[in-house]
Amino acid sequence: MNANAIVQKLWRLCAVLRKDGITYQQYVTELTYLLFLKMMAERQREEGNIPEAYRWDALVKAEPMQKLRVYREALTKLGDPEGSLPRMVQAIFDNASTFIREPQNLTTLITAIDDLDWFSDERDQFGDLYEGLLQKNAEETKRGAGQYFTPRVLIDVLVRLMQPKPGEVIQDPAAGTGGFLIASDRYMRARTDDYFTLGEKEQKFQKHQAFHGMENVPGTLRLLLMNLYLHDLDSDNVDLGDTLSEKGKRLGKADLILTNPPFGPAGGAPTRDDLTVTASVSSYQLPFVEHCIRSLKVGGRAAIVVPDNVLFEDGRGKALRQMMMDWCDLHTILRLPTGIFYAQGVKTNVIFLTKGKADTGNTDEVWVYDLRAQMPKFGKTNQLTDDHFKDFVGAFGADPYGAERGEDQGEEGRWRCFTREEIAARGDNLDISWLREAEDEAEEGLSEPEDIAAAILGHLQAAMLEIEALSAVLEDGAPEAAE
β-strand pairing of 348-355 with 296-307: antiparallel
Answer yes or no: is pLDDT of 123 > 50.
Answer: no
Q: How far apart (Å, rounded) are the C-alpha atoms in residues 214 and 227?
A: 14
Rounded mean pLDDT, 242-263: 95
| Residue 180 · residue 258 · CB < 8 Å | yes
Residue pair 43/35 in contact (Cβ under 8 Å)? The answer is no
End-to-end CA distance of the chain: 56
pLDDT at 25 over 50: yes
pLDDT at 444: 54
Residue 141 has pLDDT above 60, yes or no: no
pLDDT of residue 282: 87
Q: 428: helix, coil or strand?
A: coil
Segment among 293-302, 322-331, 407-416, 469-478 with least mean pLDDT? 469-478
259 residue type, one letter: T
Average pLDDT over residues 449-464: 60
Angstrom distances, CA of residue 473 to CA of 111, 317, 403, 479:
58, 9, 36, 8
Q: What is the pLDDT of residue 211?
A: 97
Checking if the pLDDT of 210 tops 70, the result is: yes
In percent, the amount of the chain with pLDDT more than 90 equals: 52
Contact 185, 131 (CB under 8 A): no
Q: How confident is the model at residue 85 (pLDDT cuts 50, 70, 90)?
A: confident
Q: What are phi and psi of 425, to 5 degrees?
A: -65, -20
Q: For 200-213, what is the mean pLDDT? A: 95
3-133 and 141-476 share one fold: no
Residue 394 has pLDDT above 50, yes or no: yes
Residues 441-455 pLDDT 10s: 455 555 555 555 655
Quick one: which of 122, 120, 130, 101 has its CA closest to 10?
130
235 or 132, higher pLDDT: 235
pLDDT at res. 113: 86
Which of 23-27, 259-263, 309-313, 430-434 bottoms out in mean pLDDT, i.e. has the lowest? 23-27
Q: Report d(CA 443, CA 377) in Å as an integer.
A: 7
Whole-angstrom distance, CA of residue 181 vs CA of residue 336: 21
- Non-local (6+) Cβ contacts of 203 within 8 A are 195, 196
CA dist 104 and 20 (Å) reads: 10
Q: Return the half-sphere exposure (C-beta side, CA atoms, 13 A cut-off) of residue 295.
A: 28
Chain Cα centroid distance, residue 289: 15
Collapse the DSSP code of 339 into the 3-class scheme (helix H, G, I; strand E, B; otherwise coil) and give the result: coil
**DSSP for residue 100:** -
Backbone angles phi, psi at 272, to 5 degrees: -80, 145
Question: What pLDDT does 78 receive?
Answer: 93
How many residues are recorded in the chain? 483
Residue 247: the pLDDT is 96
CATH numeric code, 141-476: 3.40.50.150
* Average pLDDT over all residues of the chain: 85
C-alpha–C-alpha distance, residues 443 and 372, integer Å: 13
Q: Is the pLDDT of residue 439 over 80?
A: no
Q: State whether the Cα torsion 145-186-175-462 is positive or negative.
A: negative
pLDDT of 388 above 70: yes
- Domain spans of the chain? 3-133, 141-476
Contact between residue 25 and residue 144 where contact means Cβ atoms under 8 Å apart: yes
Q: What is the pLDDT of residues 148-193, one digit of tens each?
A: 468 889 999 999 999 999 999 999 999 988 999 999 999 999 999 9
Averaged pLDDT for residues 238-258: 96
- pLDDT confidence bin for 370, thresholds 50/70/90: very high
Residues of the chain with pLDDT > 70, as a percent, come to 81
In the prediction, which pLDDT does 458 show? Answer: 59
Task: Please state which of the ranges 361-370, 422-431, 449-458 shows the lowest mean pLDDT.
Answer: 449-458
Determine contact, residues 305/349, Cβ cutoff 8 Å.
yes
Mean pLDDT over residues 317-322, rounded?
96
- Of 334, 307, 353, 357, the closest CA to residue 458 belongs to 307
The fold of the 3-133 domain, in CATH, is Ferritin (1.20.1260)
Per-residue pLDDT for 307 more than 50?
A: yes
Question: CB atoms < 10 A from the CB of 361, how many?
Answer: 12
pLDDT tens digits, one per residue of 106-122 = 998 899 888 876 655 34
> What pLDDT, on a 0 to 100 scale, did the predictor assign at position 344?
42
Predicted confidence (pLDDT) per residue in 50-81, tens digit: 899 999 999 999 998 899 999 999 999 999 88
| Range in 265-274, 326-335, 352-361 with the lowest mean pLDDT | 265-274
